[in-house]
Amino acid sequence: MTPQTEAELAEMIAGASGPLCIQGGGTRGLDADGERLSTRALSGVELYEPGALTLVVKAGTPVAEVEALLASENQRLAFEPMDHRGLLGTDGEPTIGGVIAGNVSGPRRIQAGAARDHLLGVRFVDGSGQAVKNGGRVMKNVTGYDLVKLMCGAHGTLGVLSEVSLKVLPRAEASATVAVEGAGPADAVAAMSAALGSPYDVTGAAYDPEKQTAFVRVEGFADSAAYRCRKLVSELAGFGSPRIEGEDAGLWRGIRDAAAFHGRDGDVWRISVKPSDAVALAPRLQAEALQFDWGGGLIWALVPAGTDLRARVTVPGHATLVRASADTRKRLCVFQPQPGPLAAISDGLRRQFDPKGILNPGLMG
Amino acid sequence: MEMPSPNPAILARKARLAERLLAVLPGDAVIQDAAETRAYECDALTAYKCPPLLAVLPRNTQEVSDILRICHEEGVPVVPRGAGTSLAGGALPTADCVILGVARMNGVLETDYQNRIIRVQTGRTNLSVSGAVEEEDFFYAPDPSSQLACAIAGNIAMNSGGAHCLKYGVTTNNLLGVTLVMMDGTVVEIGGAHLDAGGLDLLGVICGSEGQLGVVTEATLRILRKPEGARPILVGYDSNEVAGACVSDIIKAGVLPVAIEFMDRPCIEACEAFAKAGYPKCEALLIIEVEGSPAEIDHQLGLIIEIARSHNPVELREAGDADEATRIWLGRKSAFGAMGQINDYMCLDGTIPVSSLPFVLRRIGEMSREFGLDVANVFHAGDGNMHPLILFDANKPGDLETCEAFGAEILKLCVEAGGCLTGEHGVGIEKRDLMLYQYTAEDLEAQLKVKDVFDPKWLLNPAKVFPLSATQDRRDVALAAE
Same domain, A39 and A99: yes
Q: Does the residue A10 lie in any domain?
A: yes
Cβ atoms of A139 and A121 closer than 8 Å = no
CB–CB of A353 and B418 under 8 A? no
User: What CATH code is carried by the domain that includes residue A307?
Assistant: 3.30.70
**Contacting residues of B for A144, CB less than 8 Å apart:** 427, 435, 438-439, 444, 447, 465-466
A344 in a domain, yes or no? no
DSSP string covering A54-88:
EEEEETTSBHHHHHHHHHTTTEE-TT-----HHHH
Q: Are the CB atoms for A207 and A185 separated by under 8 Å? A: yes
Q: Give the pLDDT confidence score for residue B112 in this predicted structure.
A: 98
Return the DSSP state at B423.
S
| Cβ <8 Å between B454 and A110 | no
pLDDT tens across the length of chain B (482 residues): 899 999 999 999 999 999 999 999 999 999 999 999 999 999 999 989 999 999 999 999 999 999 999 999 999 999 999 999 999 999 999 999 999 999 999 999 999 999 999 999 999 999 999 999 999 999 999 999 889 999 999 999 999 998 888 889 999 999 999 999 999 999 999 999 998 888 999 999 999 999 999 999 999 999 999 999 999 999 999 998 899 899 989 988 989 899 999 999 999 998 888 888 899 999 999 999 999 999 999 999 999 999 999 999 999 999 989 999 999 998 888 887 888 888 889 999 999 998 888 889 999 999 999 999 999 998 888 889 999 999 999 999 999 999 999 999 999 999 999 999 999 999 999 999 999 999 999 999 999 999 999 999 999 999 999 999 999 999 988 777 65
Nearest chain A residue to B226 by CA: give it: A199
A273 plus A198 within the same structural domain: no
pLDDT at A32: 84
Residue B155: which of B167, B164, B165, B146 has the closest Cα? B146
Asked if B173 and A113 come within 8 Å (Cβ–Cβ), the reply is yes
| Nearest CB to B424; choose among A142, A158, A193 | A142
Of A140, A333, A42, nearest to B386 (Cα)? A140
Q: How far is A50 from chain B (nearest CA, A)?
A: 6
Closest residue, chain A, to B155 (C-alpha): A142
Q: How far is B422 from chain A (nearest CA, A)?
A: 5
Last residue of a domain, one of A124, A140, A170: A170
In the A/B pair of chains, how many CB contacts fall below 8 A?
257
Please list the ranges in chain A whose pLDDT falls under 50.
Answer: none
| A86 shares its domain with A133 | yes
Alpha-carbon dihedral of residues A179, A184, A190, A196, nearest 10 degrees? 30
Considering only the beta carbons, identify the residue of A50, A143, A158 that sits closest to B252. A50
Residue type for B273, please? Answer: A
Residues A16 and A162 in one domain: yes
Mutate to test the interface with B, among A6, A126, A141, A281 (most CBs of B within 10 A): A141
CATH number, domain of A132, equals: 3.30.465.10
Alpha helix segments (H runs only) across A174-291 = 185-196, 222-235, 249-256, 278-284
Q: Are residues A289 and A143 in the same domain?
A: no
CATH number at residue A181: 3.30.70.2190
Which of A56, A123, A143 best tests the B interface by mutation, with the highest count of B CBs <10 A? A143
Does A137 fall in a domain?
yes
Distance between CA atoms of A173 and A204, rounded to whole angstroms?
A: 16
Half-sphere exposure of A204 (CA within 13 A, CB side): 31
Q: Taking the CA atoms of A197, A199, A203 and A209 in sequence, report the sign of the dihedral they define.
A: negative
Option in B198, B253, B421 nearest A143 (CB): B421
Residue A353 belongs to some domain of the structure: no
Put residue A184 in one of left, alpha, beta given phi > 0 → left and psi -120 to 50 → alpha: beta
Residues in B closer than 8 angstroms to A127, CB to CB, are none
Side-chain-side CA neighbours of residue A339 (13 Å): 11
Measure the CA–CA gap between B419 and A208, rounded to whole angstroms: 45
User: Between chains, do B195 and A294 touch, taking CB under 8 Å as contact?
Assistant: yes
User: Given CA atoms A346, A348, A353, A357 in this order, what sign does their dihedral have?
Assistant: positive
Q: Which residues of A touch B449 (CB under 8 A)?
A: 349, 352-353
The β-bridge partners of A219 are: A175
Question: Among the three residues A170, A202, A220, which one is the final residue of a domain in this structure?
Answer: A170
Widest distance between CA atoms in chain A: 64
Residue A246 has what pLDDT?
Answer: 78
Spatial separation of the C-alpha atoms in residues A206 and A192, rounded to whole Å: 8
Cβ–Cβ gap B453/A349 under 8 Å: yes
Q: Distance between alpha carbon B2 and the CA centroid of its chain, in Å? A: 22
Which among B225, B385, B446 has the least Cβ separation from residue A134?
Answer: B446
Residues A353, B447: C-beta atoms closer than 8 Å: no
Across the interface, whether the CB atoms of B249 and A51 are under 8 A apart is answered yes
- Decide if B252 and A136 are in contact by the 8 Å CB cutoff: no
Determine the distance in angstroms separating the CA of B93 from the nearest CA of chain A, rounded to an integer. Answer: 19
Check whether residue A166 and residue A178 sit in a common domain: no
- Number of C-beta neighbours around residue B366 at 10 A: 9
- Look at residue B480 in the predicted model and tell me its pLDDT: 74
Q: Are B365 and A33 within 8 A, CB to CB?
A: no
Contact B311, B283 (CB under 8 A): no
Write the residue in B192, B249, B435 that is nearest to A316 by C-beta. Answer: B192
Answer whether B209 sits within 8 Å of A316, measured CB to CB: no
B420, B429, B433, B461: best to mutate for the A interface, most A CBs within 10 A:
B420
Same domain, A148 and A34: yes
In terms of Cα–Cα distance, which of B55, B17, B51, B45 is closest to B407? Answer: B45
On whether residue A189 sits in a domain, the answer given is: yes
My answer on whether A38 and A83 are in the same domain is yes
Nearest-angstrom CA–CA distance, B61 and B80? 13
Query: Which of A53, A75, A140, A292 is most worth mutating to test chain B (most B CB atoms within 10 A of its CB)?
Result: A140
Could you tell me the domains of chain B? 108-225 (3.30.465.10), 230-335 (3.30.70.3450), 343-433 (3.30.70.2740)
Please report, to the nearest 10 degrees, the dihedral formed by the alpha carbons of residues B130, B134, B139, B142 taken in order: 30
Name the residue facing A345 among B161, B454, B465 (closest C-beta): B454
- Identify all chain B residues contacting A173, using CB atoms and an 8 Å cutoff: 254
Q: Which residues of B touch A298 (CB under 8 A)?
A: 195
- Give the nearest chain B residue to A346 (CA atoms): B200
Which residue blocks in B372-454 are alpha helix, DSSP H? Answer: 399-416, 435-438, 441-454
pLDDT score at B482:
57
Residues A63 and A162 in one domain: yes
Note whether B251 contacts A317, CB cutoff 8 Å: no
Residue A95 located in a structural domain: yes
Tell the burial category of A25 from Cβ atoms under 10 Å away from its Cβ (0-12, 13-18, 19+): buried
Contact: A141, B420; criterion CB under 8 Å: yes
Note the pLDDT of residue B481: 66
Alpha-carbon distance A101 to nearest alpha carbon in chain B (angstroms): 11
Distances (CA, A) of A258 to A83, A103, A255, A261, B347: 9, 17, 5, 6, 49
Question: Is residue A355 domain-resident?
Answer: no
Looking at the structure, tell me whether residues A90 and A65 fall in a common domain: yes
Per DSSP, helices labelled H in B41-177 are: 61-74, 126-133, 152-158, 165-168
CB contact under 8 A, B115 and A275: yes
Structural domain count, chain A: 3
Which residues on adjacent β-strands are paired with residue A181?
A241
Angle at which helix B240-252 crosses helix B357-371, to 10 degrees, equals 150
Q: Give chain B positions within 8 Å (CB) of A156.
A: none
Q: DSSP letter for B340, please.
A: H
Q: Is the distance from CB of B352 to CB of B306 less than 8 angstroms?
A: no
Q: Which long-range contacts (CB under 8 A, 24 or more apart) does B279-282 make?
A: B279/B234, B279/B236, B279/B331, B280/B236, B280/B314, B280/B315, B280/B317, B282/B236, B282/B237, B282/B238, B282/B314, B282/B315
Q: Identify whether residues A148 and A201 lie together within a single domain.
A: no
Interval A60-107: pLDDT, tens: 999 999 999 999 999 999 999 999 999 999 999 999 999 999 999 999
Question: Sign of the CA dihedral B203, B205, B207, B212?
Answer: negative
| 3-class secondary-structure state, position B361 | helix
With contacts defined as CB-CB under 8 Å, which chain B residues touch A294? 195
Contact at CB, B419 and A73, closer than 8 angstroms: no
CB B116, CB B222: distance < 8 Å: yes
Residue B206 to residue A102: CA distance in whole angstroms: 19
- CB-based contacts of B456, cutoff 8 Å, min separation 6: B478
Neighbours of B482 (CB within 10 A): 13
Which range of residues forms the domain containing residue A222? 174-256
Residue A21 covered by a domain: yes
- Cβ-based neighbours of A181, under 8 Å, separated by 6 or more: A211, A212, A213, A240, A241, A242, A243
Residues A178 and A163 in one domain: no
Residues of A in contact with B87 (CB under 8 A): none
Angle at A317 between CA A82 and CA B158, to 5 degrees: 85
